[in-house]
Amino acid sequence: MPEQLLTVLKICLLILLYLFFLRVLRAVWAEVQEPVAADSGGSLRARTPAGPTAPQSPRKRHKRGAIRRLVVVEPAAAAGTAHLLASEMTIGRAPGCTVVVEDQFISSVHTRVFQREDTWMVEDLGSTNGTYLNRRKVTGPTVIHKGDRVQVGNVVMEVR
């Protein structure tokens, strides 16, 4: 076999090898480009129907009540994470919930928080471990006030 031919074939092989990596990089690029729901890697994620939340600017709307946010107090790892109240929101483990919480003590759709005119209410949705308001178990729709503490699973959130 002539040596030149082998050299040409070898170069072809190397080109093929790099085309493979080109395809790999293209696949990576396509994935990096796609808009991904904000995920900083924390265990708590908030989603509102309108798109990614901006927990830092809660002052703009929601003028109706003094209550605007649910702020995580426990666990310490997620403390400070704020979830804007929506007039109808759910907390649970299922991806469809407004606030998705990764905690094995939380049911798929655990708790509902909603607005009735000027008051905000919290209601347990038949969860396994229940919802607690100020350490008392919630049995029906219950009004929440500023400073109240809502507990679902291991997560405690303060109404602010």
Partner 1 sequence: MTIPASARSPLALRRRRTELGLIVMALVIIGSAYTLASLGRSASIPADIVPFLLIVLGLFVAAHLANRRLAPHADPLLVPLAALLNGIGYVEIARLNQELAAQQAAWTAVGIAGYLLTLGYFRRVRSLERVRYTFGVAGLALLMLPLVPGIGVSIHGARIWTRIGPVSFQPGEFAKLALAVFIAGYVVGNREVLSMATFRLGPIAMPEPRHLAPLLAAWGVSLIVMIFERDLGSALLFFVLFLVVLWIGTQRVSYLVVGGSLFGAGAVGTWSMFDHVQLRVSMWLNPWIDPLDRGYQIIQAQYAIAWGGAGGTGLGLGIPGRIPFQETDFIFAVIAEELGLFGAAAVLMAYVLMAGSGFRVATRARDPFAKLLAVGLTTLLAVQSFIIMGGVTRLLPLTGVTLPFVSYGGSSLIANWVLVALLVRVSDDAEGAGAGSGDEPTTVLAVR
Binding site for partner 1 (CB under 8 A): 1, 6-7, 9-14, 16-21, 23-24, 27-28, 39, 41, 43, 45, 75-77, 92-95, 100, 102, 104-108, 127-130, 135, 137, 153-154
Identify which of residues 2 and 59 has a Cβ nearer to partner 1 in the complex. Answer: 2
Task: Rank residues 12 and 143 by Cβ distance to partner 1 and give the closer one.
Answer: 12
Closest CB 157 distance from partner 1, rounded Å: 17
Q: How far is the CB of 150 from partner 1 (least distance, A)?
A: 15
Q: How far is the CB of 108 from partner 1 (least distance, A)?
A: 3
Closer CB to partner 1, 9 or 54, in the complex: 9
CB-nearer residue toward partner 1: 45 or 68: 45
Q: Which long-range contacts (CB under 8 A, 24 or more apart) does 69-74 make?
A: 69/159, 69/160, 70/99, 70/113, 70/150, 70/157, 70/158, 70/159, 70/160, 71/157, 71/158, 71/160, 72/44, 72/155, 72/156, 72/157, 73/149, 73/156, 73/157, 73/158, 74/154, 74/155, 74/156
Smallest separation (angstroms) from partner 1 to the CB of 2: 10
* Alpha-carbon gap, residue 116 to 100, rounded angstroms: 23
What gap in Å lies between CA 123 and CA 140, rounded to an integer?
6
